[in-house]
Chains A and B, each alone.
Chain A
């Protein structure tokens, strides 16, 4: 065990912190899931790229720094600490790119990765269809050979496509052998959304942003060179991509550690009245002294904890602390995971553990924030937006019900139904 940073890692952290402090836009940008906000975020993405912070773990020839996985984690910590904008390029950089590095040809990598890193080409993910959500292998969108043109023609509909209305490209699965068993006969395509035969219609998510889109394909052409992996073998490539989505690369621990620290600050701010109405005349609402009522432990000489509540209901205070603990637990879990990856392990089905933990801690954390805000919670703001967005976490990247099946069957070895 050695959880200290090397001098090189410390220097990397210092450089990242200094650049972020000087460059993170203030005030914060509007939501990147709106048309105007997305454009503002693209400017930020290009600034990141110019300074070579957009893809730190990638090779230098693609605009990265060849940073280690540890350095990448450090950059993520600094990024969230600085309150920097959401990464509207994330579905390309954090989801498609790992699969491109693993399955792509050198030609594909050289052509696609630099433009992705620079924010010139923006990638949306095309898995879900109206009748295929959790049951991804049930997709019916298809691709047909066009020998004359040297490629494929896509037909069908993808939906709930995040930022689909603002992206230029889409990666997704399409059925290429209707006769094959349903997990076979699927091919992973890299499609240009600006092609003839593609129609994109944005629509609102629960939070009111136009962050979703329906994408309709009616004979859109994809050249042969834009098949990722082998024809009819797209399922395994897609599983690698979803592993990235569930695990470390999309949701690094810093996101939740930072959110938990902000929750603690919110709870500390002392002006909160989680009970709502003035309690005088309405009966006791549980504010005030909490005491160490049930533990029965006398801590004199053994700790430094004060035991009275600071205007915080003790049950609510415990929830704030629990969220802080869980964020820390996720951080420590990922440190062990990164050690394994650096040693050559593949997280495999264990990325479902990441996904269950971060998504559900995120919901609990935001529910606690809403309770702390009391009557103010209904006003639009970062916490109410964060709360609404947290509810998507247990759904996207494979619902948590599916993740629990994966954990039970593939990690615990329980029998399939």
Chain B
């Protein structure tokens, strides 16, 4: 789940973690869908970023991650379980880029 700066929040995003004040009181529950009003409320509370549902977009380009994946698997051979693991990881990486 990505941690998104408040200025990049958009209506429709969902909180991946409850929003709490300094004393631990829950202000918005996990799963709350953001609206314009809720976003400005968060801004007014002086919070700079919140956890949002969904995969984080990795900092490195997709090609680089996929090349590193090939490199990691370069010595292991292609037995059915390893092929399945590699396929699952590859699809998992590709899905992170949407």
Partners in one complex: no
Interface residues of A, Cβ cutoff 8 Å to B: none
Interface residues of B, Cβ cutoff 8 Å to A: none
